[in-house]
Amino acid sequence: MSITLNKFLKSKGYSSVKLIFLVTKHYLIEAKVNGIDGTFILDTGASNSCICTSLEDKFKVISKESKEKASSANSEMTNTKISKSNIIQIGKWEDKINLISFDMNHINNALSQKKVSPIDGILGADILKKSNSILDYKSNKLFIKL
């Protein structure tokens, strides 16, 4: 009798979170930032997790100007801010993280062209590493070590 990946990882202390596979080939994940529900793109290629500047008040994010430049596959953003010690909750997992904030209108405009609702931000490799995550593409689940 073989054990499923789901059962094996749960026996090792992991919890699973369902991911939504979008028509854009991105994964959408629900998470809480500072206790507020949000929708985020899960981006394994993003080094830092980010939030849209216009949503800082919604998520109770206090940020300050940053000298860092953020970039994506198609553009570079120079007006970035950083917010430290925010509480992130994904499923049953919770920890403190820093967030980069920038104007995500260009991202949401591209998503809307594909009839995808706007996102609040991006969860990046910083979260995946900190949570010892395993991404199961076959089942569209993210497994997070509790």
Residue 24 falls within a domain, yes or no? yes
70: domain CATH number is 2.40.70.10
Structural domains in the chain (count): 1
Q: What is the largest CA-CA distance in the chain?
A: 56
- Can you give the pTM of this predicted structure? 0.89
pLDDT for residue 69 is more than 70? no
Q: What percent of the chain has pLDDT over 70?
A: 91
**Domain-embedded: residue 106:** yes
pLDDT on residue 79? 80
Q: What are the φ and ψ backbone dihedral angles of 33, each rounded to 5 degrees?
A: -120, 120
Residue 79 lies in a domain: yes
pLDDT at 45: 94
Model confidence at 83, pLDDT cuts 50, 70, 90, reads: very high
In a domain, 109, yes or no: yes
The residue segments making up the domain with residue 39 are 18-133
Domain membership of residue 96 (yes or no) is yes
Q: What are the DSSP calls for 117-140, one per residue?
A: PPPSEEE-HHHHHHTT-EEETTTT
